[in-house]
A and B are shown apart, each in its own frame.
Chain A
């Protein structure tokens, strides 16, 4: 079963959407957005507090609990998580999984600890991949702002070995462009590890979902949902026509 996931980038409890993870244009209160996605059959929601890791803040708890009171699909929360304690707080607020990027790159042991304490199914490794050569990507931190020097494929391998149960894979190059997804990246990561891969960055049209699902287990969509340029229903219909198994109710 493949999943359609809504990605909501959050800053100060407001929905934003950048391009290449840059730019803080406000789109509004996230609530009408997540309610709409839930009512239209979204499979999961991912919140990324998009600049918290820049200056060590966490402010997502309220939004997460409000969402879980209204929405009954799995919720993943990422952005600025640097300790087991913070991960615990997010889970206690109602998140089903935590996504960690900067905190894990700076301290890979955090992956092991979170997986050990709460289970691998909770521990999503978030990757911000930037293409540096054909078929070569580097992992970025601090919302696509800082190079970590780590090769994406090697880092994914290590993260999974340490207990990460899922991969949230963002292409910095394609994020916000709606020009299609980095299929080579999705393929390379999916072939390296056995855990589910959520592909993010560049979704422009329903066919992009079909293409990405050749390798990925799920696609996270932001801009085209927020701007109402694509609907969850049409994506899923096209998936079914292409023999991709999705959860679908008219």
Chain B
């Protein structure tokens, strides 16, 4: 086990890389965001054979699942919820990216559902993000967009950066609540997410169910301890002048309300063989979706993923600083498991792109958080765990290059 003096963030001291993909045992798994008071995380599962849980899951998925049977299950699910009285019958949380457009478009056009897409606004829309958001609506999909006020969102973004070194957290928190809340408001008991997070970096067993555990977006009581940007709600009120109303969109819902309305949250990736590459082809062929007009995104080789928020690059960069693995790693692991590239190719791609600093929107991100560049680097450098980073001739270097 890690000790506080040798590693930060609760990371295991001994760094190992999966033999099949490039993920290391330093990567976090998904946890309830509104419970985080510091940067300590749980890491992905690894077997004694040196293969990560995710790759084991993919091996299972590629050999043991009958996708025809799963599609039948999807048909049955849709039949159970489909409405013909003019109301919506499924909520699809959607950014307007390739994955969410794919899910909503397919549900509507192939499965004859009546989806309402629900968007939790990014911190700062990129031009291409805004364009694709509109392409989604133009493709025949109704939408409601929920946007938190800029004052609270900026504050929480800064606090999340300073305390958790994750400026993306306010987005993640709000995104988890926005669809269930819309489900209650519009009386639509079915929510369909795209990919189960577990496919990328959670424990194997979570993939066996089509359902998302409601603990990710609800609590038993409204008075439970909660943290936003790593700060307890009481302290946010006391020290930052935050009101209950300011926090309305960030606070999870109540379990009883969810249960009373029989809201079910499903993952589309349970029912279809999910592949980001194939989703890209689908939306290119069926909607006006556009890929990144600048070419590849900073920090990786792809040009079709995670395009809508100017802060996205920082999300991946802070991961790279804290865990030694960034955006290219994310994309490459996915492409290895889907059989698009070999592990050797992925190593080359990682070495070329991973950890590239996202400079394009850097100044805007600083302005958004209201901090100086000096402060930014202070937070970044403090979060480099000594077991991962070395300073060589004034330059930070990873001690364990991916190989």
A residues engaging B (CB < 8 A)? 11-12, 19-20, 22-26, 51, 54-57, 130, 140, 142, 144-147, 176-177
Given contacts A22-B304, A54-B352, contact A145 B295 (CB under 8 A): yes
Alpha-carbon distance A209/B301, docked complex (angstroms): 32
Interface string of B260-287 (1 = CB under 8 A from A): 0000000000000000011011001000
Which residue of the partner chain B has the closest CB to A148? B295
Chain B residue at minimum C-beta to C-beta distance from A141: B295
Q: Which residues of B contact A (CB under 8 A)?
A: 277-278, 280-281, 284, 291, 294-296, 301-304, 335, 340-342, 345, 348-349, 351-352
Question: Are A23 and B304 in contact, with the CB atoms below 8 A?
Answer: yes
Q: Across the interface, do B342 and A23 meet the contact criterion of CB distance under 8 Å?
A: no
Please tell me if the beta carbons of B281 and A25 are within 8 angstroms of each other in the complex. yes
| A176 to B295 alpha-carbon distance, docked (Å) | 16
- A53 CB → nearest B CB, Å: 11
A24 close to B295 (CB less than 8 A): no
B341: chain A residues within 8 A (beta carbon): 11-12, 24
B348, A56: Cβ atoms closer than 8 Å: yes
What is the CA–CA distance of A19 and B302 in the complex, to the nearest angstrom?
12
The one of B278, B296, B348 that contacts A146, using a Cβ cutoff of 8 Å: B296
A55/B277 contact (C-beta < 8 A), A22-B302, A147-B294 known: no
Question: Does the CB pair B296–A145 fall under 8 Å?
Answer: yes
- Cα distance A144–B302 in the bound complex, in angstroms: 10
Bound form: Cα–Cα A11–B335 in Å:
13
Give Cα distance in the complex from A130 to B278, angstroms.
24
- Picked from B277, B295, B340, B348, the residue with its CB within 8 Å of the CB of A144 is B295
Contact B302 A57 (CB under 8 A): no
Most buried by B among A11, A23, A51, A54: A23
Cβ of A47 to closest chain B Cβ, rounded Å: 18
Chain B residues near A146: list those with CB within 8 A: 295-296
Interface pair B295/A19, CB less than 8 Å apart: no
- What total of A-B pairs shows CB separation below 8 Å? 58
> Given A19-B281, A22-B302, 13 more contacts at CB 8 Å?
A12-B341, A19-B284, A22-B280, A22-B303, A24-B340, A51-B345, A54-B349, A55-B348, A57-B345, A130-B295, A144-B303, A145-B296, A145-B301
Q: Are B281 and A20 in contact (CB under 8 A)?
A: no
Evaluate contact between B281 and A55: CB separation under 8 angstroms: no
A25 in contact with B291 given A19-B284, A55-B349, A142-B296 (CB within 8 Å): no
CA of A51 to CA of B353, assembled, Å = 14
Partner of B303, one of A20, A51, A57: A20
16 pairs from A and B in contact (CB 8 Å cutoff): A11-B341, A22-B304, A24-B277, A24-B341, A25-B277, A26-B340, A54-B301, A54-B348, A54-B349, A56-B348, A142-B295, A145-B295, A145-B296, A145-B301, A147-B294, A147-B295
Which residue of B has the minimal Cβ distance to A176?
A: B284
Contact A55 B345 (CB under 8 A): yes
**Distance between Cα atoms of A57 and B340 in the complex (Å):** 16
B335 CB contacts on chain A under 8 angstroms:
24
Measured CB to CB, the closest approach of chain A to B355, in angstroms, equals: 15
Given contacts A24-B340, A56-B348, contact A140 B277 (CB under 8 A): no
- Which A residue's beta carbon lies closest to that of B284? A19
Q: Cα distance A142–B303 when bound, in Å?
A: 12
Residues of B within 8 A of A22 (CB): 280, 291, 302-304
B-side contacts of A144, CB under 8 Å: 295, 303
Residues of A with C-beta under 8 A to B349 = 54-55
The distance from the CB of B298 to the nearest CB of chain A, in whole angstroms, is 11
Once A140-B295, A145-B295, A147-B294 are accepted as A-B contacts, the answer to whether A23 and B348 lie under 8 Å apart by CB is: no
- Find chain B residues with CB under 8 A from A145 CB: 295-296, 301, 303
The 9 lowest CB-CB distance pairs between A and B, nearest first, are A55-B348, A145-B296, A24-B340, A145-B295, A19-B284, A22-B303, A146-B295, A23-B280, A20-B291
Q: Inside 8 A of B296's CB, which chain A residues have their CB?
A: 142, 145-146
| Bound CA span A139–B352, Å | 21
Q: How far is the CB of A27 from chain B (nearest CB, A)?
A: 12
Across the interface, which residues of A come within 8 angstroms of B348, CB to CB? Answer: 54-57
Within the assembled complex, what's the spacing in Å between the Cα atoms of A145 and B345? 17
Alpha-carbon gap, A177 to B291, bound state (A) = 12
Q: A55-B349, A145-B301 are in contact. Are A25 and B295 (CB under 8 A)?
A: no
| Measured CA separation A89–B64 after assembly (Å) | 44
CA distance A55 to B332 in the complex (A): 13
Contacts of A51 in B (CB 8 A): 345
Q: Which residue of chain A has its CB nearest to the CB of B275?
A: A25
A179 vs chain B, min Cβ distance (A) = 11
Instruction: Tell me which residues across on chain A come within 8 A of B345, comparing CB atoms.
Output: 12, 51, 55, 57
Q: Which of B295, B304, B340 has the most CB of A within 10 A?
A: B295
Name which residue of chain A comes closest to B280, CB basis: A23
Q: How far is the CB of A148 from chain B (nearest CB, A)?
A: 10
Instruction: Specify which chain A residues have a CB less than 8 angstroms from the CB of B352 in the assembled complex.
Output: 54-55
The distance from the CB of A60 to the nearest CB of chain B, in whole angstroms, is 15
Find chain B residues with CB under 8 A from A20 CB: 291, 303
How long is the Cα–Cα vector from A56 to B352 in the complex, in angstroms? 10
A55: chain B residues at CB < 8 Å are 345, 348-349, 351-352
Residues on the A chain within 8 Å of B301, using CB: 54, 142, 145
* Bound Cα distance from A145 to B296, whole angstroms: 5
Nearest B residue to A21 by beta-carbon distance? B303
What's the Cα separation between A26 and B281 when bound, in Å? 12
Q: Smallest CB–CB gap between B353 and chain A, Å?
A: 9
- B342: chain A residues at CB < 8 Å are 12
Contacts of B351 in A (CB 8 A): 55
A12 to B295 CA separation, bound complex (whole angstroms): 23
* Central interface residue in B278, B348, B351, by most chain A CB within 10 Å: B348
- The complex places the Cα of A25 from the Cα of B281 at a distance, in Å, of 9
